[in-house]
Amino acid sequence: MALVVGVVVTVLSSVVPALRATRIAPIVALREGLTAAPRAGRGRIVFASLLCVLGAAILGYGLFGGASGSGAAATLGGGAVAVFLGVALFSPQLVRPLAWVIGAPLQRLAGVSGRLARENATRNPARTAVTAAALMIGVALVAFVSIFAAGLRGSIDRAVDRAFTGDLSVVDKSGFGETPLALAGALREVPGVGAVSGLRFAEAKVGRDTDATTVVGIDPATLARTYTLKWKDGSDATLARLGSDGVLADTGFSKKTKVGDRLSMLTTTGRRVTHTVRGILDEGSDFGLLGGGLVVPNDRLAADFGEKENEFVFLRFADGAPAAATRASIDRLLAARFPDAETQDREQVKETQAGEVNQLLYLIYALLALSVIVSLFGIVNTLALSIFERTRELGMLRAIGTSRRQVKRIVRLEAVITSLIGALLGLVLGVLFALAISRPLEEEGFRLTFPLTTLALLVAAAAAAGMVASLWPARRPARLDVLRALAYE
């Protein structure tokens, strides 16, 4: 598949240059020193605008059209591709104003070198736009992921502060395993422990649904003392009425579910069981740990799903119990009998959740770094071609007294301007994508957060990348022989 995609994309990318080459009149070859700078016609501008509108419509359908799973992901991906292509086709119209804004402070700092760099960047807007497009895509994706991850971390922190009313959480040290069933019983025997509540997780297919639904196992007798439940229909007293066939449904599971409904579930053990909805939770508004699925007692999760061990355990100290001494006693118990488990207070729970998000974030950053590297090669190629076309011009600059250092500075600043054009366009797209994706997640408690420091560092890194990409191309014009450059044809 990678081979097919690479060949197809390469061939498609050659179509427009091939068509343009067939339209060059033979007489053009007789015009010495002519460099063609194609201009975007009205048709291209209209097509780019329509492509952006179409991409936005596809994104909207993917977000609000009711699709789920891989279908929604494919729709969102198609819409994002259309938007990227539309912006890339329209970006030549934005090169001049963006170069003027970005180049203004550079001209003040570098004088004539900054002015020449800005003018060189706008000499062929189409080429500059194409060069910046690859960097635009990479920056857009990095910005989107950074904003989304910051919002996810902030939402989880708020959920922990609002919903977790216990004093400690006991989890497996690896973060992926389960805690032994005997652990919960041993914790209840520790002096100073008032309530212990274990949570388990499984999946089931409900009714005729083909997608799996999360099923959470709880201790009905103690959950309310360690976790704040938000109810749409019911109260904490409903937990005692779950019995052997009761289930709680979250509003995120199905907006049509109501108290009294009978739900048929196919469990992971292959059993078909039926439960009655006893209450409706409103955890979705808080991005809570129980949001988006069904809740059953732990004994039913063990009997019907085969889940007999807790994922983690919430516990609360007894009234008046010394917190430090009680936690020390728990830690000694864990070290002696359950060395794979550890205690976490509220802040440590937040750090653990943030660490899991960061692990995925760093992996995505590493993958996106490849697109940035590709964009750097594009900048190198563009600068090399531009310098080749301007050999005589650069020779003239050297003849009238421009130093080698100044010539290098012109090339480097031109690369910085091109990089910042791509970075700013990508930053805008990343913010817009994050705003679009966050809208449907607000009902689940997601709150959009903008990591301004990260975004600023992203723009600075783009400028630095452009500077690095210009190191090799800038050496050639600085070493030009003035007489040969002036005689160059």
3 state SS of 164: strand
Q: What are the φ and ψ backbone dihedral angles of 254, each rounded to 5 degrees?
A: -165, 125
- Name the band, by pLDDT with cuts 50, 70 and 90, for residue 190: very high
Query: Which H or E run includes 106?
Result: helix 92-110
Which of 8, 28, 9 is closest to 20 using CA atoms? Answer: 28
Query: Which H or E run includes 302?
Result: helix 298-305
Q: What pTM value is reported for the model?
A: 0.76
Which of 422, 321, 409, 333 is closest to 376 using CA atoms? Answer: 422
Q: Which amino acid is at 278?
A: R
Q: What is the 3-state secondary structure (H, E, C) of 221-282?
A: CCHHHHECCCEEECCHHHHHHCCCCEEEEECCCCCCCCCCCEEEEEECCCCEEEEEEEEEEC
pLDDT in tens, 88-143: 888 888 888 998 888 888 888 888 888 888 888 888 888 888 888 888 888 888 89
What is the spatial distance between Cα 264 and Cα 208, in angstroms, rounded to a whole number? 9
What is the spatial distance between Cα 297 and Cα 305, in angstroms, rounded to a whole number? 11
pLDDT in tens, 62-91: 777 665 555 666 777 788 888 888 888 888
In degrees, rounded to 5, the angle at the alpha carbon of residue 328 between the alpha carbons of residues 326 and 329 is 65
pLDDT in tens, 367-415: 888 877 888 888 888 888 877 777 777 778 778 887 888 888 888 888 8
| pLDDT for 427 | 92
Q: Are 410 and 116 in contact (CB under 8 A)?
A: yes
| pLDDT for 48 | 84
Tokens read off for 448: 């959009």
Which of 143, 136, 124, 123 is closest to 465 using CA atoms? Answer: 136
Q: Which amino acid is at 451?
A: P
Contacts of 353 (CB under 8 A, 6+ apart): 153, 156, 157, 160
Q: To the nearest whole number, what is the mean pLDDT of the chain? A: 83
Tokens read off for 142: 């990095």
> To the nearest 10°, the Cα dihedral for 59, 63, 69, 75?
-10
Say yes or no to pLDDT of 311 above 70: yes
Residue pointed to by tokens 């025997």: 189
- Name the band, by pLDDT with cuts 50, 70 and 90, for residue 34: low
Q: What DSSP letter does each residue of 309-341 carry, written as one string?
A: SBSEEEEEEPTT--HHHHHHHHHHHHHHH-TTE
